[in-house]
Chain A
Amino acid sequence: MTEHRSYPQIRTGCPTRRALLWSLLGVFALGGRAARAHSAPAFRILIHPDNPLSSVSQEFVTDVFLKRVTRWHDGEQAHPVDQRGDAEVRKSFAERVLRRSVSAVKRYWQQRIFSGRDLPPPELDDDDDVVGFVLKHRGAIGYVSGSAKLGRAKAVSLQ
C-alpha cells in the first residue's frame, strides 16, 4: 500500500488507476481553490445597516449602478458608490454583476455625461472609503473586496 501511494507508482501505474489518482488530485486542487474562494469572495455588496434587506437581485444592483433605477423598493433614494477604475474589486464587480468590462461601463457613463443624461456614481479610493460612504448614507449601496473590514455596514447576498 505504501508503495502505491508513492509518486513513482502514480507515474508508472496502470492507465486507469493513474487517471483516477490524477482525477482525485484534481478534485482536491479544485476543492482547495473553491475553499479559498469561499473564505475570501472577490467582492461583497454593502448597504446601510438600517436598510432592512438581506439580499438584492443582480438585476436590481445593475439597474442601480447604471442609474436606470434611482430608488429602493421603500422609496428611499439609492446612492450607489463605485471604486477606482483600476481597482481589482471593481473589475470583478463589473464583470460579475454588471456583465460588462470596466471600460464598457466607463463608456456608458461618458455617453450619459456628455449627452447631459446623468452622472456616474462617485468613485472612491478604497474599501474603507466605501464602507464610510455606506455608513453615512441610508440609501447607499457599494461593494468592497472580500477581505475588507465592514464595520457596521451590512453585507447582503446577491441573488
Chain B
Amino acid sequence: MGAQRNSLLVSSNAFRRLHPWQWTRSLACAAGLLAAPVPASAGDATDGTSPLPIEIHAFVSQGFIKSTSNDYLAENSTHGSFEFSEVGINFSKQLTDRMRVGIQLFTHDLGPLGNYRTRFDWFYLDYRFWDWLGLRVGRTKLPFGLYNETNDIDAARVPVLLPQSVYPVSNRDFLLAQTGGEVYGIVPLAHAGSLEYRLYGGAIFYDTADATSTLSNVRGPYIFGARLMWQTPVEGLQLGGSAQRLRLDGEAIFAPAQIAQLQMAGQLPSDFSGPLKFRIPATLGVASIEYSAHNLLLASEYSRWWVSLSSAVPSFSVPQTVSERFYLMSAYHVTPWFTPGVYYSVLFGNVDDRKGHDPAYGSVPGTPPLGRGAYQHDLALTLRYDLNSFWLLKLESHYMHGTAALNPALNDNHPTSSLTQDWGVFLVKTTAYF
C-alpha cells in the first residue's frame, strides 16, 4: 500500500502528465487523506423529559468493491476488495438553548486512504444567536453543494457512492472539512419560502503521517466559501449555489536519479537539488436543485472547478484548467425497507477538450492524446434495504464509460488514456448505526 502511495508522483513523466485537477486528486491520495464521518441514526439518549441530553451516535460500515477492469478506489478492485470500511462515533451536547458542542472520531480504510488511523472528523462550538444568525468555530464540514457534508454518511443517502464527478471520495480532505469558523442562518422570506446562508473560512490541515516520499508538507493555508440555498414555497424544493476558494501548498520530492535525468532533458535547472515547492490554487462552484417530498427524491447539480499548478520551475507549472461536472439523481421509497435509486454522472477533466483530442498539458512530444482519460460517464443503480432501524444493506452497480476519475497509481502508473474505456463496478455495503 505504501509502495503504491509512493508511486503516485515518482515518475516525472507521470508528474507532468497530470492535469491540475488530477493533481488535486492525486495529492489527496498521496497525502493519504483520511477523514470522513459516516452513518448512524438518531438513537436518543434522552430520558424523554429533558430537551438537553447528551447524544451519542455511532456507525460501522463494511463494503466490498469489484470492478470488471481498471482498479478503482482500492488496489486490486478487479479481484474484489474489502478495503472499504468506516467506523465513527460522535458526542453532542446542547449546553444551553443557544449553545451546542460536538465531536466525532472517525477511522476508515478505502484502498490507499485511511489505513484505520483515527482522527477527529469534526468538532465544534456552536452558538445560535437567532435563527438568522449563528456562529460555529472548530473543525466543521464544508457546505459545498447539496451533499458534501454527508459525503461519507452512508445511512443518510441511497447510493453507496455519491456521484463521483461532484463528490469524489478521493478528494475528501479538500472538500470535507476545514478548521476555522462559519456564520450561518435562515432568513424567512414570508410567502417566498426561506433563504439559508453559510459563510466560512479557515485552513485545511493534513495529518503529517499522510505525507509520502514523493510529497511532503502538504497543507491548505486557506479556504473560504459560501453556500446559499433557497427553500422555495413548494415544499421539498430547494435551489442554491456554492462556491469556495482554496489553495494547497506542498513539496514534490524527486529521487537523485530522476533529478539527473530531468536536468539532462533540460526540464530542471542544473543547480536544482529539490524538493520542488508547488502551489495549487483552486476555485470550485456548483449550482444545485433538489426536490425531496413524500417518497420521492430528485436532485441535480452542475459544477465547475478552476485549478492551476504553479512552481518555481516553469516546466512543472500548469495554467488554469477548468473541469466540468454534472449529475442527475433520483430515488424512491417504495416501502419503508426498500429504496431503489439511480443516477447519471459525467465528468470532463477539461472543458476545452472534452473528448481528449490533445495530450495532457506539458506532455513530452509524441505523447498520445488523452482520449478516454478526458471524460467519465457513470450510470449507477442502487438498491437500498433497510433491514431494521439500525442496519441497512446496499447493492450497487455502475456502468462506466471513460477513465477520467481513475487513479494511475492504482493502475501500475498506466496513464488514464491507456486504461479500459468501458468498465463496470459492483459494490455491496452494509452499515449498522444508532
Contact = CB atoms under 8 A, between A and B. Distances in A.
Interface of A: 62-63, 68-71, 77, 79, 85-86, 95, 99-104, 106-107, 109-111, 113-120, 122-125, 129, 132-133, 136-137, 140
A113 B89 CA distance: 11
Given A85-B389, A100-B293, A133-B48, A111 B150 contact: yes
B104 A114 contact: yes
Contacts of A111: 149-150, 153, 156-157
A114 B336 contact: no
Nearest to B41: A110
Interface string B26-56: 0000000000011111101010110101010
Interface string B196-229: 1000000000000000000000000000000000
B104 A110 contact: no
Interface in B307-327: none
A135 to B, nearest CB: 10
B314 to A, nearest CB: 42
A113 B40 contact: yes
A70 B102 CA distance: 18
A63 B187 CA distance: 12
A137 B333 CA distance: 35
A68 B128 CA distance: 12
Interface in B114-165: 122-124, 128, 130-131, 140-141, 149-150, 153, 155-157
B333 A114 contact: no
A137 to B, nearest CB: 6
Interface stretch (B90-98, B251-259, B264-272, B409-417): B90-98
Given A113-B57, A114-B37, A116-B122, 17 more contacts: A100-B292, A101-B333, A103-B336, A106-B41, A106-B42, A109-B42, A110-B39, A110-B41, A110-B42, A110-B153, A111-B150, A113-B42, A113-B92, A116-B92, A116-B140, A116-B141, A136-B49
B90 A119 contact: no
Contacts of A119: 42, 55, 92, 94, 100
Nearest 6 CB-CB pairs, A to B?
A115-B149, A110-B156, A122-B46, A111-B156, A120-B42, A77-B97
Contacts, number: 126
Chain B interface residue bracket vs A: 35 or more
Contacts of A99: 235-236, 293-294
A136 B37 CA distance: 35
B84 interface: no
A117 B57 CA distance: 13
A109 B92 CA distance: 14
Nearest to A80: B51
Contacts of B295: 101, 104
Contacts of A136: 49
Contact of B51 (A85, A95, A132, A137): A137
Contacts of A124: 48
